[in-house]
Amino acid sequence: MLDIESLEVSYGAVRAVRGVSLGVRKGELVTLLGANGAGKSSTLMAIAGAVRATAGRVRLDGADVTGATPENMVRRGVAAVPETRDVFPDLTVAQNLQLGAFTRRRDQAGVIHDRETHFTHFPILAERQHLPAGNLSGGEQQMLVIARALMSRPSVLLLDEPSLGLAPIVVDQIFDMIGSLKDSGLTILLVEQNAAKALAVSDRAYVMRLGRIEAEGPASEIAAATELKSLYLGAEP
């Protein structure tokens, strides 16, 4: 479904992504692991159109979408949740969700229906729907940005470090949520520091180091490959 070929991203002299090729099949949950600075976010954001790829190809269902704007990618069914976890703090939870549906202005009934569905799945968001999003805890804000991304009815979800900085119990809730999204048939590319939990819910994984893919395989094999652990557990090999 998503096919990345020889992707490169540079920030001036910094070559953050150096020829990354990866694929995500329909309905798959694929995790991208790697130490801090490996180039995971740059890869994800280049796919989403939020940073410019200096070389390489991004294909979606066979169509070349390299260089598409973030808005265009959302219209094509690719929604991204960046690691910055940015809510509009002064807008209410309900208004934040509404903004995620910007591609569906002519489908107000569907938008309201989806919002109610997300409120059922995330009761805490329903409870807080009239509060400014800035009042939510970190975990609640993470749920809100994921639910907001879902409001565009994506076929592919790109998630960057959804569990970062959250309390263990909240981390478990986030991973439960990712598991149910996969069960619902959504195709997901996940970037995570929490390798053990990410691998436990994933079908396959890629390990990045210094802008390149160092290893790939079924999640269970990547989890069992002890020699890879130093690559993604934060320690420099």
Q: How far is the CB of 205 from Mg ion (least distance, A)?
A: 16
Q: How far is the CB of 18 from ligand ADP (least distance, A)?
A: 10
Q: What is the spatial distance between Cα 197 and Cα 175, in angstroms, rounded to a whole number?
A: 7
Q: Which residue has the tokens 């094999």?
A: 221
42 near Mg ion, judged by CB under 5 A: no
152 near Mg ion, judged by CB under 5 A: no
Structure tokens at 15: 């070559």
Structure tokens at 94: 């309900």
Total count of residues recorded for the chain: 237
Structure tokens at 46: 């280049």
Which residues touch 200 (CB under 8 Å, ≥6 apart)?
A: 175, 219, 223
Q: Which of residues 32-91 bind ligand ADP (CB under 6 A)?
A: 34, 36-42
165 near ligand ADP, judged by CB under 6 A: no
CB 188 within 8 A of CB 178: yes
173 near Mg ion, judged by CB under 5 A: no
The burial of 65, by beta-carbon neighbours within 10 Å (0-12 exposed, 13-18 middle, 19 or more buried), is given as: middle
Picked from Mg ion, ligand ADP, none, the partner binding residue 36 (CB below 5 to 8 A depending on kind) is ligand ADP
For ligand ADP, which is the closer residue by CB, 9 or 73?
Answer: 9
Q: How far is the CB of 39 from ligand ADP (least distance, A)?
A: 4
201 near ligand ADP, judged by CB under 6 A: no
14 near ligand ADP, judged by CB under 6 A: yes
| Chain residues in the site for Mg ion (CB under 5 A) | 41
| Chain residues in the site for ligand ADP (CB under 6 A) | 11, 14, 16, 34, 36-42
